Amino acid sequence: MAPTHDKERQLTREITPKVEGALPGTEVLAVELTSPGRFTVFVDHVQGVDHALCERVTTVLRDYLGDYAVDVSSPGVERPLRKPAHFRDAVGRRVALRTKERKRVRGEVVAAGEAAVTVETDGKSVDIPYEAIVRGNLIEEAGKR
């Protein structure tokens, strides 16, 4: 788990300034290794994500195409959560989290501070440091936003 997570963080640190610098209004939400030679970049844009934006992001990332197959995607309804700001925007929403210790947590975000997110699960509030979170995403519930 840790080597994949570490590689994803490294790729995120490398990719984010390139994409966001080249394409104003674009935010790199997450980078996920889907196999040893392939990764997916989840992006959002103030005017939405369309096929043309995904193509432009792929062009910016052409330096990686020799080593990886690169997929670019919109966040979808189960939006990835990686940064403290993402968790602040998710207060009141249901999330699924996985920690470095492979613990899985599902519940409602009740608070998101500078260093940790608080999730209510099974009637208890659990504080989880952002640094411990490997994966996080919204859980879409039928009939709810």
Pair (89, 51) in one structural domain: no
Looking at the fold, whether 89 and 69 belong to one and the same domain comes out as: no
The mean per-residue pLDDT over the stretch 128-135 comes to 94
The pLDDT score that the predictor gives to residue 143 is 57
0.75 cut: is pTM over it? yes
The residues with which 115 forms a beta bridge, in sequence order, are none
pLDDT confidence of residue 1: 46
CA distance 43 to 20: 10
pLDDT tens digit sequence for 66-78: 788 999 999 999 9
Task: Quote the pLDDT of residue 13.
Answer: 92
CATH code of the domain covering residue 15 = 3.30.300.20
For the chain, what is the domain count? 2
Asked whether residue 43 carries a pLDDT value surpassing 60, the answer given is yes
Q: For residue 2, what pLDDT band results from cuts at 50, 70 and 90?
A: low
Q: What is the largest CA-CA distance in the chain?
A: 49
Residue 88 lies in a domain: yes
- How do strand 94-99 and strand 104-112 relate by DSSP bridges? antiparallel
Distance CA 141, CA 120 (A): 16
Domain that holds residue 124: 84-138
